[in-house]
Amino acid sequence: MEIVASLTEQTTAATDLILGIQTIGLAAYLQRFYPRDPWRTRLWQALMLLSSAVALAGTVAHGIVMAKETYELLWQPMLICLGLVVATFVLAAVYDLKGQAAARKLLPWCIGMALVFYGIIRIPGATFLYFILYEITGMVLALGVYGYLGVKKRLAGAFLIVLGILLQIVAAGVQASGPIEVRLIWLFDHNGIFHLIGMLALFVMVFGAARGFKQ
């Protein structure tokens, strides 16, 4: 097993690994709320564990030298999980807005949305920018929902989730901006910075979601 020589790929892999561990920890933390609201707990845990699967696979993809065919194969489940991350977050927003019955009805559509995204990004010539657009669309929808819930004071922690979404949109913008390099003790490129902001975004969102369980 050979580690990649690129310093920015090394930091991208390292931040992916930290992100993967962080999201597993957040999923474990959310388990304490299961007796209060099992369905909502499982939605947020699914969001964290799907994110963890993507991050841990990204650790291998960015950190280990491998054949192009192996790299492409590794990316396929990652892309499916990425699509499901966005769909699950939209579903969590619908649950908080309309309740369990509405979320159950929307569940097949959210899974379908993720599969359509995967089909589109598999089209020859498609780039990761397609995922950024897909992610931002989902984030903006959720932003509207949680902004509304916060203004109406219907969900404790809604504004923290809004802050987390805004941070995630900033992270997506950094990633979409193209190759950049920033030295923060170690050398990071746009992917590494995306992960750093994403870590903060997920922590803030889960803390906001946790407050919603306590109301």
DSSP per position, 141-168:
HHHHHHHHHHHTT-STTHHHHHHHHHHH
Q: What is the pLDDT of residue 160?
A: 97
* pTM of the shown model: 0.90
Q: Is 145 part of a structural domain of the chain? A: yes
Domain containing 51 equals: 7-213
pLDDT tens string 106-128: 999 988 988 888 888 887 777 76
| Number of structural domains found in the chain | 1
Q: What is the pLDDT of residue 215?
A: 59
Domain CATH code at residue 27: 1.20.1070.10
pLDDT tens string 86-97: 999 999 999 999
Q: Kindly state the average pLDDT of the residues 115-143.
A: 82
CA–CA separation, 82 vs 103, rounded Å?
20
Q: Is 1 part of a structural domain of the chain? A: no
Q: Is 202 part of a structural domain of the chain? A: yes
Q: Is 2 part of a structural domain of the chain? A: no
With contact defined as beta carbons under 8 Å apart, do 45 and 25 qualify?
no
DSSP string, 37-89: -HHHHHHHHHHHHHHHHHHHHHHHHHHB---HHHHHHHHHHHHHHHHHHHHHH
